[in-house]
Amino acid sequence: MVSQNVEIVKAADAIAARKSVMRTKKFLVGFDGFVDEIIHAVGTRKNNLEYDRIQTISEFAARIASAAGKSANIELVPLQEKLGGNGPLMAMAASGMGCQVTCVGMLGYPDIHPVFKPLKSICKVVTVGIPGHTDALEFTDGKLMLGKLHTIKDMNWSRLLEVIGEQVLRELFFLSDMVACTNWTMLTEMKEIIDNITSMVPEGCKVKFFFDLADPEKRPRADLAHVLKQFSKLAKKTDVILGLNQREAEQVSDVLGLKDKPEESVKGVEAASIRLRERLGLYGVVVHAVSYAGACVGTESAGIDGPFCANPKLSTGAGDHFNGGFCGGLLADLPVKDSLYSGVGTSGWYVRNGRSPTLDDVVGLLRSWGQGTLKD
Which DSSP string corresponds to 154-216?
Answer: G-SHHHHHHHH-HHHHHHHHHT-SEEEE--TTT-TTHHHHHHHHHHHSPTT---EEEEE---G
DSSP state of 232: H
Per-residue burial over 40-67, b if 16 or more Cβ lie within 10 Å, else e, is bbeeeeeeeeebebbeebeebeeeeeee
Q: What is the pLDDT of residue 4?
A: 76
Judge contact between 151 and 106, C-beta under 8 A: yes
Using CA atoms, how far apart are residues 166 and 168, in angstroms rounded to an integer?
Answer: 6
Distance CA 278, CA 285 (A): 9
pLDDT score for 310: 87
Share of the chain above pLDDT 90, in %: 90
pLDDT at 3: 64
Q: What is the pLDDT of residue 211?
A: 98
Banded model confidence at residue 1, pLDDT cuts 50, 70, 90: very low
Q: How many CB atoms lie within 10 A of CB 141?
A: 14
Number of domains in the chain: 1
- What's the rounded Cα separation, in Å, for the pair 305 and 318? 15
pLDDT by residue (tens digit) across 245-286?
999 999 999 999 999 989 999 999 999 999 999 999 999 999
* Residue 25 pLDDT exceeds 70: yes
Domain membership of residue 76 (yes or no) is no
pLDDT confidence band for 79 (50 / 70 / 90)? very high
**Cβ neighbours, 10 Å, residue 4:** 13
Residue 285 lies in a domain: yes
Q: What is the mean pLDDT of residues 283-297?
A: 97
Instruction: Kindly give the interhelix angle for 166-174 and 190-200, rounded to the nearest 10 degrees.
Output: 70
pLDDT of residue 376 exceeding 80, the answer is: no
Q: Is residue 266 part of a domain?
A: yes
Q: What is the pTM of this model?
A: 0.90
- Which CATH number goes with the domain that contains 223? 3.40.1190.20
Alpha-carbon distances, residue 92 vs 2, 5, 103, 116, 235 (angstroms): 34, 29, 9, 10, 27
Give the pLDDT confidence of 44-62 residue by residue, as tens digits: 999 999 999 999 999 999 9
- Whether the predicted pLDDT of 2 surpasses 60: no
Distance CA 98, CA 88 (A): 15
Q: Assess if residue 62 is contained within a domain.
A: no
The span from the CA of 268 to the CA of 292, in Å, is: 10
Burial (CB count <10 Å: 0-12, 13-18, 19+), residue 196: middle
Q: What is the DSSP string of 237-292?
A: TS-EEEEEEHHHHHHHHHHTT-SSPPPSSHHHHHHHHHHHHHHHT-SEEEEE-SSE
HSE on the CB side for 338, CA within 13 Å? 21
Range of the domain at 134: 6-38+82-370
354/361 Cα distance (integer angstroms) = 13
**pLDDT (tens digit, 9 = 90+) per residue, 121-157?**
999 999 999 999 999 999 988 889 898 988 888 899 9
Residue 34 pLDDT greater than 70, yes or no = yes
Tell me if 95 is assigned to some domain: yes
Cα distances from 89 to residues 26, 130, 140, 169, 191, in angstroms, run 17, 16, 21, 21, 22
What integer best gives the mean pLDDT of the chain? 95
- The angle, 0 to 180 degrees and rounded to 10, between the axes of the packed helices 221-234 and 190-200 is 10
CA 239 – CA 307 distance, rounded (Å): 29
Report, as an integer, the average pLDDT of 183-194. 95
316 pLDDT band (50/70/90 cuts)? Answer: confident
What integer pLDDT is reported at residue 133 of this predicted model? Answer: 94
The angle, 0 to 180 degrees and rounded to 10, between the axes of the packed helices 221-234 and 266-280 is: 70
In a domain, 346, yes or no: yes
What letter represents residue 316's amino acid?
Answer: T
For residue 339, the SS3 value is helix
What's CA 210's distance to the chain center, in Å?
A: 10
Q: Is residue 46 part of a domain?
A: no
On the question of pLDDT at 339 being above 90, the answer is: yes
Phi first, then psi: give them for residue 146, nearest 5 degrees: -105, 100
